[in-house]
Amino acid sequence: MDSLNFLNELNVKHAAMRFGTPVFIYSQKILEDQAQKALDMPNAFGLTVRYAMKANSNESILRLLDRKGVLIDASSSHEVERALNAGIPRRNILLTTQELPHRLFQDVGWVEVNLTSIEQIRNYKSFSLHTESLDNKVSIRVNPGLGSGGTNRTNVGGPSSSFGIWHEDFDKALNLINDYGFGVKRLHTHIGSGSDPKVWEKVALMSLNYAEKLVKENHPLEILNLGGGYKVGRMDDEESIDLQRSGEFIKKAFEDFYDENGVKLRLEIEPGTFLMANAGVLVSRVIDVVKTSDYTFIKTDTGMTEVTRPSLYGAQHPLFLFPSNSRKDEPNEYVVVGHCCESGDILTPERDNPEKISTRTLRETEIGDLLVIGGVGAYCSSMSAKNYNSFPEAPEVLIDRSENFHLIRKRQTLDQIVQNEIVPKFLS
């Protein structure tokens, strides 16, 4: 990404002046354009696109995607409640969670649930004894034994992942489901974020083998959900998935499945990064420039309080510098760091290695310049080291198709940070 994809220098400076820094800015146009690409993915017998709302849970984002006809993939009962509060119909929400809380069915009411372990199957049976609204047609997630991700830490398939029913336990899970009188209507697999398209296609074929077994045992299988994690290039040298090409591959596989088994499966996908990553930027300000014997450091007023992906994964984000004054300057090599008192608060780690620092070539930088971090629409504001060093949450802004700015989350205050703290009487 050689240049910002929806902002220019003028509106970057306008946003910084109006909302302060750091501030997230999201593009309605890019978000909706990406959603349309997902909705246009080739398919054999129908397609459902679900947004992995953990990527960015802001209500305005949820409402925009709902208007486009994108449904919701929730990862916790709390996300279910946020989606309901945003006006998403409960029939449009699928919950796939590590923690299956009983209160979900007591307080929130029934939503479709994806069962991801043998224990969850047992819990669902227990819930069904007390809740008439639970569906006897269930969804199950399987770990096929193979995974792929942009880094080892984003690989959520294979033996090092706890997500889904381990493939060697598939028959055990199926026996339990049969004993309980359930029928499987949806089969789900998800192998990682930033996954290799070739591996994704291989897992899709493996998933169809499990689907065939369910059909042969007379389960009312209707849907194969192949998850999300589609690779999106944030940096110029990173490739993005071609959903048209991958879609044609899956379409043919579903047609072959119908020819062999007589069942027309509906395809579901759950993009998060694909929809949001490049629809968001973070505008920050340079607060200091310091030198050591080995490096020149740019210190910013953001960091892991807004963007943890570099610290967690060694992930790379494009950086754009906008000088605060007119000057002729030469490029230089910089390490860019955040404002936290924390050694891991680095925005330019070595690729895929958060343990080591790297440099970026940027225009000569001075205190007061604006530094824009690209590719932060997904898994940044929703996955930050919130309130570390007591820094408040940054505001979020939506820029519409007419290039108007709309504040969609205010900057947090110190009072809001501490509002739930209680001092016992003996310390008063």
Query: What per-residue confidence (pLDDT) applies to 136?
Result: 85
In three-state form (DSSP H/G/I as H, E/B as E, the rest C), the secondary structure along 194-205 is: CECHHHHHHHHH
Query: What per-residue confidence (pLDDT) applies to 368?
Result: 97
Q: Structure pTM? A: 0.93
Distance, C-alpha 392 to centroid of its chain: 22
Q: Do residues 334 and 314 share a domain?
A: yes
User: CA 263 to CA 222: how far, in whole Å?
Assistant: 8
Cα→Cα distances 294→291, 297, 303, 335, 359, Å: 8, 10, 22, 10, 11
Query: Who contacts 331 (Cβ-Cβ below 8 Å, separation ≥6)?
Result: 361, 362, 363, 364
Q: Do residues 194 and 321 share a domain?
A: no
User: CA 37 to CA 300: how far, in whole Å?
Assistant: 35
12 assigned to some structural domain: no
User: CA 48 to CA 393: how far, in whole Å?
Assistant: 33
Preceding amide of 318 cis, omega within 30: no
Q: What values do phi and psi take at 283, rounded to 5? A: -95, 125
6 assigned to some structural domain: no
Query: What per-residue confidence (pLDDT) applies to 150?
Result: 42
Q: Do residues 130 and 251 share a domain?
A: yes
130 assigned to some structural domain: yes
Distance, C-alpha 209 to centroid of its chain: 28
Query: Which structure tokens are listed for 15?
Result: 């946003």
Pick from 393, 377, 197: nearest CA to 281: 377
Among residues 253, 276, 299, the one where a domain terminates is: 276
Query: What per-residue confidence (pLDDT) applies to 4?
Result: 86
Among residues 248, 276, 304, the one where a domain terminates is: 276
Pick from 252, 244, 144, 242: nearest CA to 188: 144
Query: What per-residue confidence (pLDDT) applies to 149?
Result: 42
Query: Who contacts 161 (Cβ-Cβ below 8 Å, separation ≥6)?
Result: 143, 147, 155
- Total domains, the chain: 2
Q: Do residues 256 and 317 share a domain?
A: no
Distance, C-alpha 248 to centroid of its chain: 24
Cα→Cα distances 193→74, 298, 386, Å: 16, 30, 22
User: CA 7 to CA 306: how far, in whole Å?
Assistant: 19
Query: Which structure tokens are listed for 309?
Result: 């992906």
7 assigned to some structural domain: no
Pick from 150, 87, 84: nearest CA to 111: 84
Range of the domain at 297: 277-418
User: CA 397 to CA 326: how far, in whole Å?
Assistant: 27
User: CA 206 to CA 216: how far, in whole Å?
Assistant: 16
Among residues 276, 298, 317, the one where a domain terminates is: 276
Instruction: Compute the 3-state secondary structure of the chain and give helix, strand, coil in percent, each to the nearest 5.
Output: 35, 25, 40
Q: Do residues 283 and 388 share a domain?
A: yes
Helix (H, G, I), strand (E, B) or coil at 328: coil
* Through-space distance between the first and last CA atoms of the chain, rounded to whole angstroms: 54
Q: Print pLDDT tens along the chain (428 aa).
A: 457 889 999 999 999 999 999 999 999 999 999 999 999 999 999 999 999 999 999 999 999 999 999 999 999 989 999 999 999 999 999 999 988 876 655 555 578 899 999 999 998 888 777 666 667 899 999 988 764 444 444 434 455 567 789 989 999 999 999 999 999 999 998 765 545 667 777 778 888 999 999 999 999 999 999 988 788 999 999 888 888 988 999 999 999 999 999 999 999 999 999 999 999 999 999 999 999 999 999 999 999 999 999 999 999 999 999 999 987 778 999 999 999 999 999 999 999 899 999 999 999 999 999 999 999 999 999 999 999 999 999 999 999 999 999 999 999 999 999 999 999 999 98
Distance, C-alpha 107 to centroid of its chain: 26
148 assigned to some structural domain: yes
CATH of the domain at 317: 2.40.37.10
